[in-house]
Structure 1
Amino acid sequence: MSEDTWELRLYVAGQTVKSMTALANLKTYCEKHLKGRYRLEIIDLLEHPQLAEGDQILAIPTLVRKVPAPIRKVIGDLSNHERVLVGLDLRALDPS
């Protein structure tokens, strides 16, 4: 079952509007497309700036898909539905 679990990491900088919008949008996508099959980690770079280097974070908010491989990144508030689905490669999951 662990192969089915997506590991997502959202990098934010405090409680900014953009960061909170990204988090809300991400939760919506996860519940719609990955319900019960994802683990979400939120990293606030104001509290842990050293963690930005590991995933090479250059802008925030940034969403990183750690698992399944390969690593994918989506930058911004995640409001562009199509861009997020393509960026995370979620389209392949929808049988159409």
Structure 2
Amino acid sequence: METKEEIWELRLYVAGNTPKSQTALTNLKKYCEEYLKDKYVIEVIDLLVKPQLAEGDQIFAVPTLVKKVPEPIRKIIGDLSNKEKVLVGLNIRPAIK
């Protein structure tokens, strides 16, 4: 049985506080506020601080966004500036108004 109030668990892997990392986080927050209002958690992992965490999600490039929940797990590499690619990648269907 699927619940409508499932919390999306998103993990953004970055390497330091670079402009690309900042852009990725800004874009991600914007999309989440627009499409997943109050239904998401973003965890930012800086691989310069915790490089061992890259192995668990098999991170080969940064920034990389990993959607842990709801399944299936999805990954998107880059600064997330292509909104359509991010929404398709995360399997978010914009609500029809």
TM category (shorter chain) comes to: over 0.9
Output one character per residue of 1:29-48: Cα deviation in whole Å (capped at 9) or x when no partner: 00000010001100000000
Output one character per residue of 1:45-87: Cα deviation in whole Å (capped at 9) or x when no partner: 0000000000000100000000000100110000001100000
Alignment of 1:11-22 (within 5 A): 11-22=13-24
- The 1:54–1:2 alpha-carbon spacing in structure 2 relative to 1, beyond 3 Å, is farther
Please tell me whether residue 34 in structure 1 is matched to residue 36 in structure 2.
yes
Match of 2:27 in 1: 25
Amino acid at match of 1:75: I
Q: C-alpha root-mean-square deviation of aligned residues, in Å?
A: 1.6
Higher helix proportion (structure 1 or 2): 1
TM-score (norm 2): 0.92
Q: What SS does the corresponding residue of 2:31 show, helix, strand or coil?
A: helix
CA shift, 1:95, in A, is 3.8
Q: Which runs of 5+ in 1 are unaligned?
A: none
Distance 1:26 1:53 in 2: 22
Q: Which runs of 5+ in 2 are unaligned?
A: none
Q: 1:46 aligns with which of 48, 51, 60?
A: 48
- The 1:2–1:45 alpha-carbon spacing in structure 2 relative to 1, beyond 3 Å, is farther
Kept in 2, the 8 Å contact 1:61–1:77? The answer is yes
* Paired residues, number: 95
